[in-house]
């Protein structure tokens, strides 16, 4: 089997291995309680479990390491950043946290502030001549467009518990009471044996109704002969209804936390998307800077070779007597300066590799075995001859429709208006209508006294007779009424309502400010593209002129028309021109990345699915290119 066939088989195996292992990678999810035969009864009281944090890197990382080198493309950087970056992994918990708070809100619980803010991405080692933001790219905003979590407000009427409750109570008692008057009890010591049972079922409804059904019974036995029924059982079934008519009335008031948290769940997904956007942008900026640093190292290596060749040439000419000895010193000075520039370029490259590896690795560089792995970027910066961009108005429309920060601000403004309904409701007095219906029953064994008493025989019987009396409503009770509570002045509620209105007005103005800032971001990003293009064109032309100048002066130096000092100066100028052009190309990539951020297109441009990102598994495959396996060096 020849080498090319082996390479193809290896690539196919790598692709299948990555696809299968990535597909098998478990996503974060709250696990249900263990199931058993009594789960229908006990599931509400069993703890659900949360899996341990995922500290291992995705298999994609190892699939891209070959012979101590990590081969990366821009697409691989995006995939690895989404799968392995710790900031992204932290934000994966935010939607889960929001879902659990929604579960709490549906039970009538107060909202909780959960999750952490979006983390800014790292910066490169150095970016010459470029203003950078937190994500390492060209700055597109001077502030004002911020993203945050959801809304948590607990003002307004208390939200009732929406989970029904069931209470059981039973009691057994034996008492002995000495009697000072035996005429009433017929005994000097009254002995009472009691068994009581009470069950209460209560439920609150979203429109402001509270219902409570209570069943209780009590079995009593006396040692006194003066009771017509002894022992006897008494009981009743009671229904109490209380309806809020002013404060606390209506679904809009009592379910406001549920609707607000539904919005907060949307915000949590947007917050995760924002984290992915910042992380992807930062990783790409780091990657393209790494590409430029490698190009700078190669340019500095060429400068060292040229300087070394000049030293050797000067030594030969000095030996022939055609050149003064001072020219060797000048050439060696240039050689050492070039070597120093090379060392600086190499150390910058190493530091940049370390930063990039840390972004793409979840369990630390040393733990992942990446400390001695060299990162080899497989892409080269390619600048189109012409920037074919939509009009500024079209880009602004796209930004206003897709910027995550604006979507979050709009949702939070809607949530504040939902909360305002409850806060306004607290201005009203408390007016409640209540009604109570009670069915009573009494049964027991006839004593000698009871057998002689007319009409008591109807009460004779067991527990079934008691239930029959209750459900036949032989002994009903009725009551109804209203309760009105009027607070004088009501200053706290008035202040809360006006304060909330003022905050909403501030939010509306901040939304307008953010909208204006987005327009400014787009304009600045377009200007950044134009500036990067102009600097690249100028630096490319300067590099060409430096090359031509060096070649011309080298020919003149060969004829003895100029001194070595001029050639040394030309070499310095060419090295600086190469560095400037390389940096200008990287700056152009930063400007494109910043434009994508400004218009909210970072994820779509890089073909990132938010659903896949939330699961932490990207469907795209990554393999080491065949020419690398054959020994080619990019």
User: 570-581, pLDDT tens digit by residue?
Assistant: 888 888 888 888
Question: Which one of 445, 467, 485 terminates a domain?
Answer: 485
For residue 292, what is the domain's CATH number? 1.20.1600.10
User: Which pLDDT tens digit goes with each residue over 168-224?
Assistant: 999 999 999 998 888 888 888 999 999 999 999 999 999 999 999 999 999 999 998
Phi, then psi, of 341 in degrees rounded to 5: -60, -35
Q: Write down the H helix ranges in 25-85.
A: 39-42, 59-63, 74-84
Q: Write down the H helix ranges in 200-255.
A: 251-254
Q: Is the pLDDT of residue 20 over 60?
A: no
Same domain, 236 and 288: no
pLDDT score recorded for residue 11: 42
Task: Find how far residue 139's CA is from the centre of its chain.
Answer: 24
User: Which pLDDT tens digit goes with each residue over 351-409?
Assistant: 999 999 999 998 877 777 788 899 999 988 888 888 888 999 999 999 999 999 999 99
Which whole number is the average pLDDT over 26-52?
Answer: 73
Question: Which one of 458, 485, 512 terminates a domain?
Answer: 485
pLDDT range class, residue 255, cuts 50, 70, 90: very high
Which whole number is the average pLDDT over 74-81?
Answer: 94
Residue 625 lies in a domain: yes
Which whole number is the average pLDDT over 239-244?
Answer: 96
Q: Is the pLDDT of residue 10 over 70?
A: no
User: Which pLDDT tens digit goes with each residue over 441-458?
Assistant: 999 888 877 776 777 778
Residue 158 lies in a domain: no
pLDDT range class, residue 50, cuts 50, 70, 90: confident
Which residues does 260 contact at the CB level (< 8 Å), separation at least 6?
A: 105, 111, 150, 151, 153, 415, 418, 419
Same domain, 346 and 376: yes
Residue 327 lies in a domain: yes
pLDDT range class, residue 133, cuts 50, 70, 90: very low
Same domain, 533 and 617: yes
> Mean pLDDT across the chain, nearest whole number?
85
Alpha carbons 447 and 244: distance in angstroms, whole number:
49
Same domain, 50 and 72: yes
Same domain, 100 and 51: yes
User: Which pLDDT tens digit goes with each residue over 137-180?
Assistant: 334 443 334 445 777 877 888 899 999 999 999 999 999 999 88
Partners of residue 178 on adjacent β-strands = 189
Same domain, 149 and 188: no
SS (H, E, C) 314-383: HHHHHHHCCCCCHHHHHHHHHHHHHHHHHHHHHHHHHHHHHHHHHHCCCCCCCCCCCCCCEEEECCCCCC
pLDDT range class, residue 629, cuts 50, 70, 90: low
Same domain, 413 and 286: yes
Residue 551 lies in a domain: yes
Same domain, 367 and 458: no
pLDDT score recorded for residue 454: 76
pTM > 0.85: no
Same domain, 450 and 497: no
pLDDT score recorded for residue 6: 45
Domain that holds residue 107: 1-153+256-427+491-634
Q: Is the pLDDT of residue 3 over 50?
A: no
What does the buried/exposed string (b/e) look like for 60-88 if buried means 16 or more CB atoms within 10 Å of the residue's CB? Answer: bbbbbbbeebbbbebbbbbbbbbbbbbbb
Q: Supply 272's token pair.
A: 């995760």
Residue 160 lies in a domain: no
pLDDT score recorded for residue 151: 78
25: left (phi over 0), alpha (psi -120 to 50) or beta: beta
Same domain, 264 and 332: yes
Same domain, 405 and 366: yes
pLDDT score recorded for residue 102: 94
Same domain, 596 and 612: yes
Length of the chain: 634
Alpha carbons 409 and 379: distance in angstroms, whole number:
38
Looking at the chain, the number of H-run helices and the number of E-run strands are 18, 9
Q: Is the pLDDT of residue 518 over 50?
A: yes
Q: C-alpha angle 94/95/98, rounded to 5°?
A: 90
Exposure on the CB side of residue 523, measured as CA atoms within 13 A: 7
pLDDT score recorded for residue 13: 44
Residue 594 lies in a domain: yes
Residue 222 lies in a domain: yes
- Count of structural domains, the chain: 2
pLDDT score recorded for residue 49: 82
């Amino acid at each position: 089997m020849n080498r090319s066939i082996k390479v193809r088989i290896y690539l196919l195996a790598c692709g299948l291995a990555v696809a299968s292992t990535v597909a098998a990678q478990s996503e974060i999810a709250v696990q249900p309680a263990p199931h058993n035969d009594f789960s229908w009864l006990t599931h509400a009281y069993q703890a659900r479990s949360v899996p341990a944090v995922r500290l291992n890197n995705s298999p994609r990382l190892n699939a891209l390491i070959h012979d101590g080198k990590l081969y990366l493309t821009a697409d691989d950087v995006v995939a690895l950043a989404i799968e392995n970056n710790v900031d992204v992994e932290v934000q994966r918990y935010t939607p889960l946290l929001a879902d659990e708070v929604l579960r709490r809100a549906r039970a009538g619980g107060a909202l909780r502030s959960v999750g952490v803010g979006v983390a800014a991405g790292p910066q490169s080692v150095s970016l010459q001549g470029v203003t950078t933001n937190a994500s390492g790219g060209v700055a597109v905003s001077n502030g004002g467009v911020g993203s945050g979590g959801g809304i948590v407000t607990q003002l307004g009427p208390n939200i009732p518990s929406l989970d029904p409750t069931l209470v059981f109570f039973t009691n057994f008692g034996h008492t002995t009471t000495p009697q000072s008057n035996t005429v009433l009890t017929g005994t000097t010591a009254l002995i009472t044996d009691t068994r009581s049972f009470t069950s209460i079922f209560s439920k609150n409804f979203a429109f402001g109704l509270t219902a409570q059904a209570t069943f209780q019974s009590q079995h009593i036995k006396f040692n006194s002969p003066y009771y017509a029924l002894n022992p006897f059982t008494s009981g009743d079934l009671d229904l109490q209804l209380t309806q809020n008519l002013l404060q606390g009335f209506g679904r809009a008031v009592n379910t406001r936390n549920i609707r607000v948290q539904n919005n907060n769940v949307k915000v949590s997904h947007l917050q995760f998307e924002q984290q992915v956007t910042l992380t992807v942008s930062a990783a790409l900026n780091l990657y393209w800077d790494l590409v430029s640093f490698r190009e700078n190292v190669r340019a500095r290596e060429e400068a060292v070779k040229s300087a070394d060749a000049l030293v050797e040439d000067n030594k030969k000419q000095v030996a022939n007597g055609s050149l003064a000895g001072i020219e060797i010193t000048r050439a060696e000075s240039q050689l050492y300066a070039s070597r120093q520039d090379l060392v600086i370029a190499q150390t910058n490259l190493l530091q940049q590799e370390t930063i990039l590896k840390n972004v793409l690795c979840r369990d630390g560089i040393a733990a992942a075995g990446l400390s001695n792995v060299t990162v080899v970027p497989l892409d080269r910066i390619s600048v189109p001859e012409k920037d074919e961009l939509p009009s500024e108005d079209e880009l602004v429309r796209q930004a206003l429709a897709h910027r995550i920060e604006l979507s979050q601000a709009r949702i939070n403004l809607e949530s504040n208006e939902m909360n305002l309904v409850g806060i306004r409701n607290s201005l009203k007095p408390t007016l409640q209508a209540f009604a109570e219906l009670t069915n009573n029953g009494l049964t027991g064994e006839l004593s000698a006294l009871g057998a002689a008493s007319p009409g008591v025989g109807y009460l004779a019987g067991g527990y079934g007779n008691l239930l029959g009396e209750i459900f036949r409503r032989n002994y009903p009770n009725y009551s109804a009424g209203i309760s009105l509570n009027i607070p004088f002045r009501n200053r706290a509620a008035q202040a809360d309502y006006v304060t909330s209105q003022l905050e909403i007005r501030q939010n509306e103005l901040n939304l307008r400010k953010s909208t204006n800032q987005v327009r400014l971001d787009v304009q600045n990003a377009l200007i950044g593209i134009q500036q990067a293009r102009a600097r690249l064109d100028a630096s490319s032309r300067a590099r060409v002129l430096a090359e031509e100048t060096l070649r011309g002066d080298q020919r003149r130096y060969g004829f003895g028309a100029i001194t070595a000092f001029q050639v040394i100066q030309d070499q310095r100028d060419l090295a600086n021109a190469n560095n400037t052009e390389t940096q200008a190309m990287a700056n152009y990539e930063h400007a494109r990345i910043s434009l994508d951020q400004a218009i909210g297109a970072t994820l779509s441009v890089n073909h990132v699915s938010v659903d896949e990102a939330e699961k932490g598994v990207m469907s795209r495959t990554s393999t080491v290119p065949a020419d690398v396996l054959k020994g080619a060096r990019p």
